[in-house]
């Protein structure tokens, strides 16, 4: 079977879950080609990207649309005259999405694709949906977080994507119930399949003897809750706790976080470390006493589905403190696989961080249970196999 993966931009440093999935599919013998709507960002790349064998097609975008649209339409009709009806039905759709869908459909027909799959229910799913109609192929997509929760999501458009898809994957039970409650029958094809890890690449190490390092990893955006983490560090500093905190990532809140660190006199405690590759992040996780994931529901409605860094932290043997947001309680069970705190509660977060920094036995107990959970439910080879079943349109009951 040959599947085209439609992605907004490939590769992305923050999307290790896509690389994990691609590698697992290829290990199982699935033939994949990647169709990227945007060129890659100028950022470091994970080592796993080099192991992905799938060729990447970078599509012409808005700059070429005015002069290229007619030729793209003609090229598709030469391959599939029956596409004329679908092209007529696409009148009124965003022109750039139609242009890129025409390119995807042409490549799909020329290369013998049998299925199209997109990650995120936004522009990638929009292009995949149109390309499926133009080519006569089925399509599916994976819904994550910003693509279903953000206030800019247009319900009528998402409903149409859900209805037209042969299958839809989402990454947590929370997401599944959210979509079914809001979209009803249109979300009937949605299945929960967790993101996964290749456990062979995540060697467990006991957290018994660790320096008092608090680590946080993610985009510097409101929903990650890093402002609360900085405030929690101020609480720890006032208590005289010995610790350091490293926040890895970049994003629009970087300057605000720097200013907050300065205002609170935390320059000697908290450092913004910028972007790091997955390999570097794994080394940092192994060296930390704990990882903090103080996620919140943002003012824009956005929230995390289930942060991959929590799974990686569990797999590597480092305990985690996180909030009770979206799908996080599905994996982080308070006092069993980690410590749970309410969102936007820096003092409570500080209490939990202090517990983990000061109690090696607690770290060991939580880490062992967390590793066992990841091995049971988040093995990428098992979970990717479930996605391949959906590519064959044989929907399995949960």
For residue 284, what are its two tokens?
A: 């940092």
Task: Kindly report the backbone phi and psi dihedral angles of residue 139, in degrees, each rounded to the nearest multiple of 5, phi listed first.
Answer: -140, 160
Mean pLDDT of 26-43: 95
DSSP states along 271-304: EEEE---HHHHHHHHHH-SEEEE-----TTS---
- Per-residue pLDDT tens for 55-87? 999 999 999 999 999 999 999 999 999 999 999
pLDDT for residue 27: 97
State how far the Cα of 97 lies from the Cα of 279, in Å rounded to an integer. 35
Q: Which of 316, 321, 318, 313 is CA-nearest to residue 292?
A: 321
CA–CA distance, 26 with 34 (Å, rounded to integer): 12
Task: Using pLDDT thresholds of 50, 70 and 90, give the confidence band for residue 394.
Answer: very low
Taking the CA atoms of residue 311, residue 153, residue 73 and residue 71 in that order, the dihedral angle to the nearest 10 degrees is -80
pLDDT band at 395 (very low <50, low <70, confident <90, very high): very low
**pLDDT one-digit tens code per residue, 216-247:** 999 999 999 999 999 999 999 999 999 999 99
Q: What is the mean pLDDT of the chain?
A: 96
Q: Are 313 and 374 in contact (CB under 8 A)?
A: no
Domain residue ranges in the chain? 2-196+379-391, 199-377
**What is the sign, positive or negative, of the torsion defined by CA atoms of 131, 86, 182, 344?**
positive
Decide whether 2-196+379-391 matches 199-377 in CATH topology: yes
Nearest one of 201, 187, 191 to 169, comparing CA atoms: 191
**Residues 122-145: tens digit of each pLDDT:** 999 999 999 999 999 999 999 999
Predicted local confidence at residue 291, as pLDDT: 98
Beta bridge partners of 323: 341
- Pairing between β-strand 339-341 and β-strand 270-274 as defined by DSSP bridges: unpaired
Name the DSSP class of 11. S
**How many whole angstroms separate alpha carbon 245 and alpha carbon 214?**
5
What is the CA 187 to chain-centroid distance, rounded? 20
Are the C-beta atoms of residues 142 and 119 closer than 8 Å to each other?
Answer: yes
256 — pLDDT class (breaks 50, 70, 90):
very high
Cα-based distances in Å from 337 to 60, 144, 369: 46, 23, 5
Does residue 396 carry a pLDDT above 50?
no
Rounded Cα distance between 276 and 141, Å, is 28
What SS3 state is found at 172? coil
- How many C-beta atoms surround the C-beta of residue 357 within 10 A? 21
398 pLDDT higher than 80: no
For the chain, the maximum distance between any two Cα atoms, rounded to a whole number of angstroms, is 74
SS3 28: coil
| Cβ proximity of 183 and 156 under 8 Å | no
Distances in whole angstroms, Cα of residue 129 to Cα of each of 82, 168, 183, 224, 389: 17, 12, 18, 30, 19
pLDDT at 393: 43
Provide the strand spans (E) within 158-269: 167-170, 190-192, 213-217, 244-248
Report the pLDDT value the prediction gives residue 397, as an integer from 0 to 100: 32
CATH number belonging to the domain at 2-196+379-391, selected among 3.20.20.80, 3.40.50.920, 1.10.10.60, 3.40.50.2000? 3.40.50.2000
Say what the pLDDT of residue 43 is. Answer: 87
Reported as a pLDDT band with limits 50, 70 and 90, residue 14 is confident
By CB atoms closer than 10 A (0-12, 13-18, 19+), residue 31 is middle
- What pLDDT, on the 0 to 100 scale, is given for residue 325? 94
Give the CATH class of 199-377.
Answer: alpha beta
CA distance 387 to 21: 9
């Amino acid at each position: 079977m040959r599947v085209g993966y439609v992605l907004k931009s490939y590769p992305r440093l923050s999307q290790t879950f896509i690389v994990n999935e691609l590698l697992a599919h290829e290990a199982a013998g699935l033939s994949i080609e990647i169709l990227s709507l945007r060129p890659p960002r100028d950022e470091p790349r994970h080592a796993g990207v080099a192991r992905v064998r799938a060729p990447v097609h970078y599509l012409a975008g808005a700059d070429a649309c005015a002069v290229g649209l007619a030729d793209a339409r003609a090229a598709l009709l030469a391959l599939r005259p029956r596409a004329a009806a679908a092209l007529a039905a696409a009148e009124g759709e965003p022109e750039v999405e139609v242009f890129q869908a025409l390119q995807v459909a042409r490549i799909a027909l020329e290369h013998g694709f049998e299925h199209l799959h997109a990650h995120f229910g936004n522009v990638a799913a929009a292009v995949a949906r149109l390309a499926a109609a133009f080519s006569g192929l089925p399509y599916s997509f994976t819904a994550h977080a910003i693509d279903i929760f953000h206030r800019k999501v247009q319900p009528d458009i998402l409903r149409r994507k859900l209805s037209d898809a042969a299958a839809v994957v989402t990454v947590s039970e929370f997401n599944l119930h959210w979509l079914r409650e809001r979209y009803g029958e249109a979300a009937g094809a949605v299945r929960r399949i967790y993101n996964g890890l290749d456990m062979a690449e995540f060697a467990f190490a006991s957290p018994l003897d660790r320096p008092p390092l608090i680590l946080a990893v993610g985009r510097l955006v409101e929903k990650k809750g890093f402002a609360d983490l900085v405030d929690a560090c101020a609480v720890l500093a006032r208590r005289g706790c010995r610790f350091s905190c490293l926040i890895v990532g970049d994003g629009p809140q970087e300057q605000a976080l720097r200013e907050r660190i300065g205002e609170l006199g935390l320059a000697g405690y908290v450092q913004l470390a910028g972007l790091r590759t997955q390999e570097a992040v794994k080394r940092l996780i192994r060296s930390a006493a704990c990882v903090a994931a103080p996620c919140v529901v943002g003012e824009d409605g956005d929230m995390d589905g289930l942060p991959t860094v929590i799974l990686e932290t569990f797999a590597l043997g480092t305990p985690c403190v996180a909030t009770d947001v979206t799908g996080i309680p599905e994996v982080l069970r308070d006092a069993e696989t980690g410590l749970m705190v309410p969102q936007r509660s820096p003092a409570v977060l500080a209490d939990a961080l202090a517990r983990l920094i000061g109690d090696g036995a607690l770290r060991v107990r939580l880490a062992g249970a967390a590793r066992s959970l990841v091995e049971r439910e988040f093995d990428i080879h098992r979970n990717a196999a479930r996605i391949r079943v959906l590519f064959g349109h044989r929907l399995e009951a949960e």
